[in-house]
Amino acid sequence: MKITNTENRYGMMAILLHWGIAILIIGLLAEGLYMVGLSVSLQKLKLFGWHKEYGMLVLILACFRLGWRITNTVPLLPKEIPTWQKLAARTAHWAFYFFMFAMPITGWLITSAAGLPVSFFGLVTFPDLVLPNADLRMEFIFIHKWLAYGLIATICVHTGAAFKHHFINKDNVLRGMLP
């Protein structure tokens, strides 16, 4: 398999980025939904630390993925797919890029507004984006939460469409993103 994309299928780099980031994001969503229900404890603080570090990993990978997407061919969708579905697919893909940037950045803003550092696995500490401010922190938490719900909905629609193509249409759309 080629590392770059062709008109017929995604290359190995796009496939690795897709599945790697997908696993990270789904894990972060599950962890986020779990940890917000916990009472303050050492475990909750540890989970928040991991959540921030892996969230920043998603942001870094999203930068690389967007660069890869812009500089590579995008495989063509099958000709028999209606135009509205092609538009919906492209819209969903760009929505994922929006979420891959908006979620980590709003998380970073929450942490900055709380007056806490954002570390990347102890290798680097990111600068604060805003000064500590409890009101701003609450606004960023609200935004981050609703972005998460929007991301979950987009994942469900994307996954449902992929399964529809694979099991009902029996085309190669899903297979194009598998190794």
Domain count, the chain: 1
Range of the domain at 57: 12-177
Mean pLDDT of the residues in the chain: 96
Residues of the chain with pLDDT under 50: none
44 lies in a domain?
A: yes
43, 66, 138 from 132: Cα distances, Å: 24, 31, 11
112 lies in a domain?
A: yes
Question: What's the pTM?
Answer: 0.95
6 lies in a domain?
A: no
Mapped onto helix, strand or coil, the DSSP state of residue 124 is strand
pLDDT in tens, 79-90: 999 999 999 999
7 lies in a domain?
A: no
5 lies in a domain?
A: no
pLDDT in tens, 25-57: 999 999 999 999 999 999 999 999 999 999 999
CA neighbours within 13 Å on the CB side: how many for 38? 14
1 lies in a domain?
A: no
3 lies in a domain?
A: no
